[in-house]
Structure 1
């Protein structure tokens, strides 16, 4: 028989991500890859409005489903047979959603995506009802509010299927805001016992996975161009700049022990919600590198400046968002605080480098890391006053 689902302690020692959670993340990479591929295709075809809006909507669905499970698991992971089966059902829903991404981009047909999301959300409601069954009082009411909120929002997503195409963005805005409000409303009486170190590790692992997807997307783009054109002198600066940019993004994100900042729901919600831009911008960098490769060989319907912006804008957004929600809480003094905002502006300026923009962006990102390491080292060795 399944055990009762009890809340785990927030001060639990040696809490770490489980193999099931890692498999869960890998399923989401498929959906991230599909969204990034469709974004790259739309940008290369000269349809930035359609590509960016579609990407933002679909990435929200992917990110929000991942986030819901991650915070629930941090508080209630029992790792028994029933918990594993329900989690595997959620993974199946992710894969269904990923399969529907191309149709949603090309024809605004969200049927498959809605069904995949339904599978994920019903599994999530099942988890919350089980948590309610194993608890009492305020904790039980919190779990039931979550179950009700998720159900109501899933009904709201029916608007994607029932309303005309021109109303779809409004459905995403309205229902998306309702989704974001569910945790705050559900936990107004009692906070769930999410674990700061476990949460920070889960977000860090997903960041690594998205960075890996960016590398994979850029590598395939470079390989395809090399097979067709054998122009290493054109591809080498893009490949080198993209690699430097991804390596620097890793360094920038993991430079601070963020779990020390996550002490309340207010801090955690702002930090967790802000990762929509962190994850989305990292994945968009990979799509941007694909566009830059295509444009360099005349296979994209946009200018060199626009192709460069496909890399520099998400890269700058990543730096600025990481500083705003993540790094600034552990920076000391104006010099350290200004490194990432100034670097974001310099990355945007790299857009004017045209075909050399990717390499220039990678060099700026590398310099950002070098400056940050130097300032941190000087502060550590400075004599105490």
Structure 2
């Protein structure tokens, strides 16, 4: 690990950050990318006040999920629900999965879903008692949940699970020897998903029948994140293009070239936000793909006060965009202008997840398995 850290320090001191750097850091187990200390000028930057801590019972936490005023967590041992006004979790239970929960919990009506590559299960949202477990036949992807159904990939199949029982209602086959790893999304009764075969599928969500498909295998293998806003699907490719696609027939309405692989793109209202390792956070108009604003995060000609790379998902509230970088600094940007209005150094090493709350506060997850409420 020390040699890997040293190689990253040398290579990124003079060259822009690439996907290889990020993957190398993750594979080596580094909690953050170790760039030269001069690159991250955080002296004098204030830290937030830790108002409360909760022990999750996990040593490794998945991203957190907001549910109203509460927060749901899951990890390598269990899952639970936290009311920020209470000193102890509302409930906390061992999930009994053979491996850690890797995706953030999903609320599905009266249930909360938790799982990873081998299995997905449902627990009662109010009480925490387990309802069912579905075991993977091959390998599970990231799910999309409604109150009645859960849509999740298993190998090259897309499944629709009945939330009342966990049984499979329908199954749609993609291309053998590919993985349906990334989450699908819904637009009314149309389920959209893009497995690793270069296709985008649109299915009837009730029956699993194909409505249309788009083949752009010459441009992408996967679409990594899918978000619907109105009649537009905003999709981030594994490479450098963000797409605006009609949910009705798969027509590509616009593309935006981020200059490097797209990470952490997020859709709120009529705007898509993304970070590119070229050194910018962008706000993109969903209707036409034009840039509303951009905020520089990295100036490769001058290392002073640059951000760390981003692995946490960008998140928003009504007024602000929140970006937690890998040097444990939380950046708060004005959603309308892109101006950075706050920069906060976290009190300890954090997992890549932020849940903002009103009143200048947020919930975060530490590398030590704690859930923290911070204020500034």
TM-score normalized by the length of structure 2: 0.24
Higher relative contact order (CA 8 A, sep 6+): 1
Which structure features the higher share of strand residues?
2
Give the helix-richer structure, 1 or 2. Answer: 1
Structure having the higher Rg: 1
Normalised to the residue count of structure 1, the TM-score between the two structures is: 0.23
